[in-house]
A and B are shown apart, each in its own frame.
Chain A
């Protein structure tokens, strides 16, 4: 089978960031950064984005995109040295997610294969939604999709395959979501060091650590001298 993959989300994001509109935003952002620091900018941008989204959700008015939006797709893979059924079983129960997904605070079962998610965004904002597990194929594939009205429109899937040579299980994760505040939000997230790609990768690494060693590897807190 030939390897096929469209441009990565990174490329998309990079391309998006260089549209004329976003360049303007970038210039404003750069100026704002110099004047009021990163936090001020992030606060203003996210505050505006969420105020708008909350208003939109509450009023049920059709979205008129004041801030440019683009769905963001993140794909990451990792190999975990455990048999496929074991890795699948762990992922089959989304209440495990907060253990390895850094930004997921809580996942609670609300019905058969349905869960309520609480996710922490930048600046301790909380985003919530209900999601259904979809397209479940035993030991092979699990999908999920947020129900309408979600703070972040998102869906994702994870595919499990045997790694060659008895090396365990390849886990392929794909998540698509509307970044908060669209491109501006994604850019702001990058400024905050919370790049979605990186997040997904770090989450998968923690999952691997849990399944292989029994816990997430930690070096904090640790003793240190004056900073």
Chain B
């Protein structure tokens, strides 16, 4: 089969590799129809997540068709149109029993590195390095999915592929950001990062009762989409001071809930940002804490900071004094998508939630490297490039442009 492989820092190539096979009775093989890039992949491409090996297949947000089932699978059959949650739950451990699927005890087949660095290992993740299980990713024609009955969900009739694919990761991750933030009726919710996850967090916050949502980013097209699709007020941090703007917009209170949908490769301005860039380049710091510092400082006293952007290791000069003295609650985590899928499909079917506009580009797999380049540099108003392994390369590839699918 054809697959998009990581061959080194910012070196992606499409190669012909072996088809996946069923390894365990609970496995299924999915024929991939759509597989999205994700901001968290950029950390892999840029070398911030160690334990990538040359030849690893990327991709973890996907939709497809079940083509083979293991002997122990009874709830899924060949031909099912499905999405798969990016983060793998075994469905049997204490964490899965408590719907904390991304903390699964058993699905990470290579837990050593996480245990050493974090104290404990979380769940395995498709196409996300050998620290997270060493599973092959979805930017390929076929993918093996372990513990399928826990991680694979049939797409309800009437929900399009272009909508459903994002229920694999961007939608539940954004939803969980708002859930962790504990959004209450009447809240002002500030979201740093208007990428796929941030936009979904804004919509989720609205559905959960937020009265106002504020989007913070530097790309005008993304801020425009935040305004158009999530009714967000916008802050361009390259034009204004974020803290001053947030204080102005909230009568000095600060946002009740602050969501970091950016993570370790945050951009910013000023000396703090340059300090982080320098230390990170020297590998003295693994994450840039620009967003975290702003969020903690701006957050309303007694409010919540929800961290859904990915961090890998350590950050410097974290404002612990502000967190403690302002009695903030800080929560974070990888998404427990399995818990949210039924709710999310319900909101989608009833028209409250439509992630399909995230797909600005639908490209063949062969344009993988180009697609990631565009996604990384956010050219052509790109929000998400979604690879369709059934498309052939060359002219005729469907560029949906900035407007999204019709």
Which residues of A line the B interface, CB within 8 A?
79, 81, 167-168, 198, 201-202, 205, 208-209, 212-215, 217-227
Q: A219-B109, A219-B146 are in contact. List 20 more A-B contacts (CB 8 A).
A: A79-B94, A167-B94, A208-B105, A209-B106, A212-B93, A212-B105, A213-B92, A215-B24, A217-B124, A219-B124, A219-B135, A220-B134, A221-B21, A221-B23, A223-B136, A224-B53, A224-B56, A225-B54, A225-B57, A226-B15
Q: Which residues of A contact B25 (CB under 8 A)?
A: 214-215
Q: Are B15 and A225 in contact (CB under 8 A)?
A: yes
CB distance from B75 to the nearest CB of A (A): 16
With A212-B92, A225-B13: A217-B109 Cβ-Cβ less than 8 Å? yes
Q: Which residues of B contact A81 (CB under 8 A)?
A: 92-94, 97
Which residue of chain A has the shortest Cβ distance to B112 in the bound complex? A198
CB distance from B224 to the nearest CB of A (A): 38
In the assembled complex, 27 residue pairs joining A and B whose CB atoms fall closer than 8 Å, in A order, are A167-B94, A198-B112, A209-B90, A212-B90, A212-B93, A213-B26, A214-B25, A214-B26, A215-B24, A217-B24, A217-B109, A219-B109, A219-B136, A220-B109, A220-B134, A221-B23, A222-B134, A222-B136, A223-B17, A223-B18, A224-B17, A224-B136, A225-B3, A225-B15, A226-B7, A226-B54, A227-B54
Inter-chain residue pair count (beta carbon < 8 A): 98
C-alpha gap A223/B3 in the complex (Å): 9
Which residue of chain A has the shortest Cβ distance to B116 in the bound complex? A198
| Residue B144 is within 8 A (CB to CB) of chain A in the complex | yes
Q: Are B111 and A205 in contact (CB under 8 A)?
A: yes
Which residue of chain A has the shortest Cβ distance to B146 in the bound complex? A217
Q: Are B147 and A213 in contact (CB under 8 A)?
A: yes
| Residue B1 is within 8 A (CB to CB) of chain A in the complex | yes
C-alpha gap A169/B79 in the complex (Å): 40
Interface string of B109-148 (1 = CB under 8 A from A): 1111001000000001000000001111000100010110
CB distance from B335 to the nearest CB of A (A): 20
- CB < 8 Å: which of B26, B57, B72, B111 contacts A224? B57
Q: Which residues of A contact B72 (CB under 8 A)?
A: 214
| Residue B86 is within 8 A (CB to CB) of chain A in the complex | no
- CB < 8 Å: which of B5, B94, B147 contacts A168? B94
Q: Which residues of B contact A198 (CB under 8 A)?
A: 112
- CB < 8 Å: which of A218, A222, A223 contacts B1? A223
C-alpha gap A224/B93 in the complex (Å): 29
Which residue of chain B has the shortest Cβ distance to A220 in the bound complex? B134
Which residue of chain B has the shortest Cβ distance to A193 in the bound complex? B112
| Residue B238 is within 8 A (CB to CB) of chain A in the complex | no
Q: Which residues of B contact A220 (CB under 8 A)?
A: 109, 134
CB distance from A220 to the nearest CB of B (A): 7
Q: Are B133 and A219 in contact (CB under 8 A)?
A: yes
Q: Which residues of A contact B133 (CB under 8 A)?
A: 217, 219
C-alpha gap A73/B12 in the complex (Å): 46
CB distance from B267 to the nearest CB of A (A): 31
Q: How many residues of chain B have a CB within 8 Å of chain A?
A: 45
With A212-B90, A225-B17, A227-B54: A219-B110 Cβ-Cβ less than 8 Å? yes
Q: Which residues of A contact B53 (CB under 8 A)?
A: 224, 227
| Residue B108 is within 8 A (CB to CB) of chain A in the complex | yes
Which residue of chain B has the shortest Cβ distance to A198 in the bound complex? B112
Q: Which residues of A contact B55 (CB under 8 A)?
A: 224-227
C-alpha gap A1/B94 in the complex (Å): 26
CB distance from B29 to the nearest CB of A (A): 11
| Residue B346 is within 8 A (CB to CB) of chain A in the complex | no
C-alpha gap A224/B112 in the complex (Å): 21
CB distance from B326 to the nearest CB of A (A): 33
C-alpha gap A223/B16 in the complex (Å): 10
With A222-B20, A227-B55: A217-B13 Cβ-Cβ less than 8 Å? no
Q: Which residues of A contact B92 (CB under 8 A)?
A: 81, 212-213
With A208-B105, A223-B18: A218-B93 Cβ-Cβ less than 8 Å? no
C-alpha gap A222/B145 in the complex (Å): 11
Q: Are A218 and B7 in contact (CB under 8 A)?
A: no
Q: Which residues of A contact B90 (CB under 8 A)?
A: 209, 212-213, 217
CB distance from A196 to the nearest CB of B (A): 14
Which residue of chain A has the shortest Cβ distance to B144 in the bound complex? A222
- CB < 8 Å: which of A209, A214, A225 contacts B7? A225
Q: Which residues of B contact A226 (CB under 8 A)?
A: 5, 7, 15, 54-55
Q: Are A218 and B109 in contact (CB under 8 A)?
A: yes
CB distance from B20 to the nearest CB of A (A): 5
Q: Which residues of B contact A222 (CB under 8 A)?
A: 20, 134-136, 144
CB distance from A90 to the nearest CB of B (A): 15
CB distance from B160 to the nearest CB of A (A): 29
| Residue B107 is within 8 A (CB to CB) of chain A in the complex | yes
C-alpha gap A222/B135 in the complex (Å): 7
CB distance from B210 to the nearest CB of A (A): 35
Q: Which residues of B contact A208 (CB under 8 A)?
A: 93, 105-106
Which residue of chain A has the shortest Cβ distance to B147 in the bound complex? A213
Q: Are A217 and B108 in contact (CB under 8 A)?
A: yes
| Residue B211 is within 8 A (CB to CB) of chain A in the complex | no
C-alpha gap A227/B8 in the complex (Å): 10
Lowest 4 CB-CB distances: which A-B pairs, in order? A225-B5, A225-B55, A225-B15, A224-B55
